[in-house]
Amino acid sequence: MSEQVLTSAESLKDRARAALGHSNLVLVGLMGVGKSSIGRPVAHQLGIPFVDTDVEIERVSRMTITELFAAYGEVEFRALETRVITRLLKGGPRVVSTGGGTFINDSTRMHVKRGSLSVWLKADLDVLWDRVNKHGERPLLKSENPKETLENLMNARYPIYAEADITVLSRDVNKDIIVKEVLAAIADGKTAESKMR
Q: Are 104 and 31 in contact (CB under 8 A)?
A: no
Q: In the chain, what percentage of residues exceed pLDDT 70?
A: 86
Q: Residue 190: its pLDDT value, please?
A: 55
Predicted local distance difference test score (pLDDT) of residue 192: 44
Long-range contacts of 133-136 (CB under 8 A, 24+ apart): 135/32
Task: Write down the pLDDT at residue 7.
Answer: 57
Residue 155: Cβ-neighbour burial (10 angstroms; 0-12, 13-18, 19+): exposed
Residue pLDDT, tens place only, 37-62: 999 999 999 999 999 998 999 998 89
Distance (Å, whole) CA 125 – CA 87: 32
Summarised one tens digit per residue, pLDDT across range 71-107 is 888 888 888 888 999 899 988 799 999 988 889 989 8
Instruction: Region of 36 please: left (phi>0), alpha (psi -120 to 50) or beta.
Output: alpha
Q: Report whether the peptide linkage leading into residue 49 is cis, meaning its omega lies within 30 degrees of zero.
A: no
pLDDT value at position 56?
92
Using CA of residue 92, residue 33, residue 98, residue 108, what is the dihedral sign? positive
pLDDT at 142 over 80: no
Strand order in the sheet with 116-122: 50-52, 95-97, 24-28, 116-122, 166-169
What sign does the CA torsion over 2, 181, 46, 58 have? Answer: negative
Is the confidence at residue 197, as pLDDT, over 80?
A: no
Smallest Cα–Cα separation from 26: which of 16, 35, 13?
Answer: 35
Alpha carbons 82 and 13: distance in angstroms, whole number: 30
Cα separation, 118 vs 110, in Å, equals 11
Indicate whether 134 pLDDT > 80.
Answer: no
DSSP reduced 3-state for 28: strand
Would you state the pLDDT for residue 137? 62
pLDDT at 195: 35
Q: Which amino acid is at 133?
A: N
Q: Where do the domains of the chain lie, and which CATH numbers do they carry?
A: 12-192 (3.40.50.300)
Contact (CB, 8 A) for 86 and 108: yes
Q: What's the predicted TM-score (pTM) here? A: 0.86
